[in-house]
Structure 1
Amino acid sequence: MSPADHNKTPTRHAVIIGAGIVGVSTAIWLQRDGWQVTLLDRAGPGEGTSYGNGGVLATCAMVPVTVPGLIGKAPKMLFDPDQPLFLKWSYLPRLLPWLRKYLSNANPADTRRIASAINGVVADSLEEHQALARGTKAERWIVPSDYVFVYKDRAAFEGDSFVWDIRKSHGHRWDELDAAAFRAYDPVFADRFKFAIRLGGHGRIADPGQYVKDLADHAVENGARLITAEATDIIREGGRVTGVRAGGETLPCDAAVIATGVWSGPLSKTLGLSVPLESERGYHLELWNPSVQPRSPVMITSGKFVATPMEGRLRLAGVVEFGGLDTPPSRAPFDLLKRAASSTFPGLTWDDTKEWMGHRPAPADSIPVIGEAPGPKGAFLAFGHHHIGLTAGPRTGRLLAQSMSARPPNIDLTAYSPARFA
């Protein structure tokens, strides 16, 4: 062995469990830090929520669902078929323990606290995606754009003043568009929408599923091993992670990352963590070859759904349903999105429709779980991003890679610490 070889730092090896946007981002940032990486996923890259999201790089999306007033509004919404909240009633007894903790945060102080934490991972989302994808074939899917919030009128916007005050406190500024200005900006909307907010500096992903696949291909081209199998255990010896059990074999490693979204609970429990995690079931409806497309991604605030122009189709995504991981999709959310498409875009026609339902990972405190688990060295977690997984994926991966490489991140990670669930 030459002196140069003798002085080389041994290559560290990480097994990343989960090949969605969070796991793949972590893999690429670790590779750039000199790690050897194995990506492990039971279905393959970009096949879960990373495929079905709204496709918006929503830097302004730091406000959690649990805003003040939610407790009073939710029951009425559940009994209104035109509202975007659904519940499989047979699941309610299992949901209640999580729901009590979740709703306990629906007050001004906790909403602001949670928003500050979420802002730490969604800030500069467009730039984070561009830095992650630079020089890869995934780069083509990133489209800088505005993000527009559409309201019935100015009074409806002013009714959301608490939410917009939080966004302003985190540095966001916007243009207010009255009916005429909004019509001039984008004439495809129904006349009933008479006010809009336009935020610059955002972006969209023109094909979220393919975007994640292309990023995973880049990781593989740079030496990552990709395995399609389900992880069943994290092996520890002498107080350190030494491997991951999957597909009947043990994959040796120096560190393991759990990034399997809503399915992260069982593996987390093997590390002594009890994360109150639920599926916030989300739906999307894709209209292929639409006759019109909005100029930018838009949030239709009255229906709490996003309409995003994508490659060859218009995707309407949103809706919240609680019903667990095992029950089949409901018909009502799809029907609601279809009605919303017709009423939002008059004269809209399309050639084909595709439907999707997936599982957003929702911790009861609405804050992602990011960092090293207490206990065995080398066990890391990165999940629980609710509806902001695509937006926050690259920054989460960068922060986790910095922590794993003993490089201090540029923000305080205390709020995301897995130790809060030990």
Structure 2
Amino acid sequence: MENRITILGAGAVGICTALSLAERGAQVRLIDRTDPGQETTFGNAGVISPWSFIPQALPGTWKKIPGLLLGKYRPLSVRPSYWPKMVPWGLSFLRNGADSKVQEIADAMEPLCAPSIDLYRRHLNGTGAESLIQDSLYVHAFRNVGDDVLNAIDYRIRREKGAQLELVAEQELRRLEPALSKEFKAAVLIHGQARALAPGRVAEVLAQKAAGLGVDIVHDRVTSLKRENGSWQIQCETADYRAGNVVITMGAWSAELLKPLGITVPLAAERGYHIELPDPGITLNHSIMDVDAKFVASSMADGLRVAGYAEFGAVDAPADPRKKDRILAQAKSAFPDMNEKDASFWMGRRPSFPDSLPMIGEFSGHEGLYAGFGHSHYGLMMAPKTGELLADFLTGRKPNLDCSPYRTGRFSDGLV
């Protein structure tokens, strides 16, 4: 039997899992149709945050949906053909926005996010690319905000867990980020953050490190997966492989691969967009979120990146070209001195469960088949710890935290 652990999907989660396994002496194969980290990971907004453990659904989210869909900024959209799938997923999503559920989910997200900066720096140590991760504030910029904003549930939970938050008025905000429009009157600063100057490059460097430790990186498209004669047979376009243990880290494509095995999961392809400006004429000193328009902007190695939108649609549906002009106009409004010439345009798919938590662990009844997907907006942040946990499972170590919130059967057991 092939004794090489095979990971299907070479985004940040797959790469970090391969690296963690290789560091423990395991034989690993990593298969993806593209170069490592060049799909969803590549287009990430770059925020690496120990404090981004707040789920997407919050109390009162249902009241905001009309504005998110039809308001001035329209950061949320649903493709017409997707509404039949969106309704049950959305109802489950809203149920997870109850106060008690938000606290429970945040408690489960925290240990995945908390070590992210330290783990990335450990992985990058010795590669010569350590400077790709830089310390940063996370600036939540508001056009209008009350003095009690820090009492909102998302900030309150962060403070209770030890985050250093600071509410600053317009003058201090302008000092920190002079490129911001004067429309912004205040900001919440989240300290103790970092940012990736090139998420795709981070993935490349870590994949190269993994290869140096013996990981076999295969460029091929996975077409099917089945159990046969006590092992897993992985069929690809150009070759077939066998493995005793398989880890699915294919992000939004994971659900389709699992269906023929009788495994159905409520995974949505929540599509995000970004523009990148190679010569923006401005520099941002930190990662900035426009709280109204729901986008994140950051100066990166190749220019200014502005990333946002939550568009629900079929995983392989084409990008909506209208999003480019819309996000460009919103960026220009937030950064009026920005040079918008030669903007590039990108779309990727966030693999999202309605409770904002990933699946991590073995599938019941499918020996040797493991999940490592569904990280929603948090994939870059959660990837290193997810990789550590999967390496624990696959090498017989007991994880140092309760992994039941990430269990693969949680939607079928009726508790979510």
Do both share a fold (TM > 0.5)? yes
Match of 1:17 among 5, 8, 31: 8
Aligned to 2:64: 73
Q: 2: CA distance between counterparts of 1:168 and 1:180?
A: 24
Task: From the superposition, tell whether residues 271 and 408 of structure 1 become closer, same or farther in structure 2 (CA, over 3 Å).
Answer: farther
Matched, 1:158 2:149: yes
Matches within 5 A, 1:28-39: 28-39=19-30
Computed over aligned residues only, the root mean square deviation of the Cα atoms, in angstroms, reads 2.0
Q: Once the 2 structures are TM-superposed, how far is the Cα of residue 280 of structure 1 from its aligned partner? A: 0.8
The separation in 2 between residues aligned to 1:178 and 1:77, in whole angstroms, is: 26
1:316 equivalent to 2:309? Answer no
AA paired with 1:196?
A: A
> For residues 401 and 339 of structure 2, what CA distance do their matches in structure 1 show?
46
Residues 326-380 of structure 1: per-residue CA shift (max 9 Å, x gap) = 3322244322321221111122214420001111001122210001111232211
Superposed CA deviations along residues 2-55 of structure 1, whole A, max 9, x for unmatched, are: xxxxxxxx9952100000000000000000111111110012211211011111
The alignment status of 1:40 with 2:68, answered yes or no, reads no
State the Cα distance separating 1:235 from its structure 2 match: 4.0
**1:365 maps onto 2:365 in alignment:** no
* Deviation for aligned residue 1:139: 2.8
Moved more, 325-334 or 34-43: 325-334
Name the SS for the 1:317 alignment partner: strand
1:353 to 335, 343, 346: 343
SS at match of 1:289: coil
Cα distance in 2 between the residues matched to 1:403 and 1:149 = 37
- Residue in structure 2 matching 1:290, options 280, 283, 288: 280
CA deviation string 1:294-327 (max 9, x = no partner): 1101111111110011013010001111122233
Amino acid at match of 1:30: L
Structure 1 residues 305 and 160: CA distance shift in structure 2, 3 A: farther
Q: Which digits, 9 at most, give the CA deviation of each residue in 1:370-392, with x for residues without a partner? A: 01111232211100000110111
CA distance in 2, matches of 1:309, 1:127: 22
- Determine the structure 2 residue equivalent to 1:389: 379
Conserved in 2, the CA contact under 8 Å of 1:15 and 1:37?
A: yes
Counterpart residue identity of residue 91, structure 1: Y
Q: Show the counterpart of 1:218.
A: 209
Alignment match, 2:175: 184
CA contact (8 A) 1:143 1:203 kept: yes
Q: Hey, what's the Cα distance between the residues in 1 that align with 2:226 and 2:83?
A: 35
Q: State the TM-score, normalized to the length of structure 1.
A: 0.92
User: How many angstroms apart in 2 are the aligned matches of 1:185 and 1:94?
Assistant: 43
> Is the 2:36–2:203 Cα contact (8 Å) retained in structure 1?
yes
Change (3 A) 1:270 1:137: farther
Further displaced range: 383-392 or 147-156:
147-156
CA deviation vs aligned residue, 1:236-277 (integer Å, no higher than 9, x gap): 356x53442323533232311000001001233344421101
Q: 1:328 to 1:244 in 2, by over 3 A?
A: closer
**Stretch of structure 1 that moved more, 104-113 or 356-365:** 104-113
1:302 counterpart residue number:
292
Cα pair distance change 1:295/1:383, threshold 3 Å? same
Q: Which amino acid aligns with 2:64?
A: K
- Whole-Å Cα distance in 2 between the matches of residues 337 and 160 of structure 1? 30
Tell me if 1:337 matches 2:351.
Answer: no
Write the deviation string for residues 37-82 of structure 1: whole angstroms up to 9, x where unpaired.
1110012211211011111102221111111111121023212252
SS at structure 2 position matched to 1:184: helix
